[in-house]
Amino acid sequence: MAVTALGTHGRPVLDVRALTKVYGEGEAVVRALRGITLTVDTGDYVAIMGSSGSGKSTLMNILGCLDSPSDGHYLLDGVDVSRLSDRQLALVRNRLIGFVFQAFNLIPRTTALANVELPLAYAGVRPAQRRRRAMAALELVGLADRADHQPNQLSGGQQQRVAVARALVTEPALVLADEPTGNLDSRSTDDILTVFDQLNAAGRTIILITHEPEVGARARRLIRLFDGQVRSDTRQDTPAGPGLPGRHSAVPRSGGWA
């Protein structure tokens, strides 16, 4: 499976404009997001960090089309998802977003290959093509030789690599990873971050939601949230992964715009 930069050239993969999210009413109102504005271009690698209550989980749910904003607009690969029906949102989640979760979310007693095939099955792809694409995705993350293994036969790091392969198999516009190293030891964490480094070097657009500074440091761009707002949005130097060139910029991005 060739790894190419997806999304339309010249158009941001993600364009968030004055996004707000309000829960409750009256004295019980909670303003989780207070006018978030940012863009993410094709091929960018972004880490979003913030303490508990900063709004990062709410933002992740909206970016992943798992929740809707109270106000504002969210364009994903040019599609204004804030105006879609539930059925249309389900299609967007399947076709435009590749999810990687902290808990892996693999189906037990099912092979790695079958787990990776699952999004393609939902999309109606024929079995022979599903198998070919799933094997290519597993090869991409270095697990082609574990295709017939079930999750309980794999280490935590290997399970997360299967989850990454599943996220990639639909050729999504955006890979969205929520605390992807939260359940991993330091060695497995480095393995997964190296996979992300390599995917991004090949043109994949990646957003990581994390509370771990060492994970945020690997991204090319770091966005910090505080009280539902973008406190800082900065380009940063990041260490090169194995065989990858170093990145150099450290240019602040004012106002949250790319």
- What the block records as the tokens of 226 is 């505080």
Q: What share of the chain is helix, strand, coil (3-state, %, to 5)?
A: 35, 25, 40
Residue 231 lies in a domain: yes
- What the block records as the tokens of 24 is 């409750």
Taking only the tens place, the pLDDT of each residue in 78-112 is: 889 877 888 999 888 988 999 999 999 999 999 99
Cα(249)–Cα(133) distance, rounded to whole angstroms? 35
pLDDT band at 238 (very low <50, low <70, confident <90, very high): low
The per-residue pLDDT for 237 is 66
The per-residue pLDDT for 26 is 85
DSSP state of 106: P
Q: What is the pTM of this model?
A: 0.84
Taking only the tens place, the pLDDT of each residue in 182-192 is: 999 999 999 99
Q: What is the CATH number of the domain that holds 60?
A: 3.40.50.300
Domain that holds residue 73: 12-235
Residue 60 lies in a domain: yes
The per-residue pLDDT for 1 is 35
Total count of domains within the chain = 1
CA angle 15, 80, 25 (to 5 degrees): 90
Share of the chain above pLDDT 70, in %: 88
Residue 241 lies in a domain: no
Residue 50 confidence (pLDDT) above 60: yes
Q: Please, what sign has the CA dihedral across residues 33, 238, 158, 90?
A: positive
Residue 85 lies in a domain: yes
What's the mean pLDDT when you consider all of the chain? 87
* Chain-centroid distance, C-alpha 235: 18
The residues near 72 (Cβ < 8 Å, ≥ 6 apart) are: 16, 17, 18, 19, 20, 35, 36, 82
Residue 252 confidence (pLDDT) above 60: no
Report the first-to-last Cα separation within the chain, whole angstroms: 30
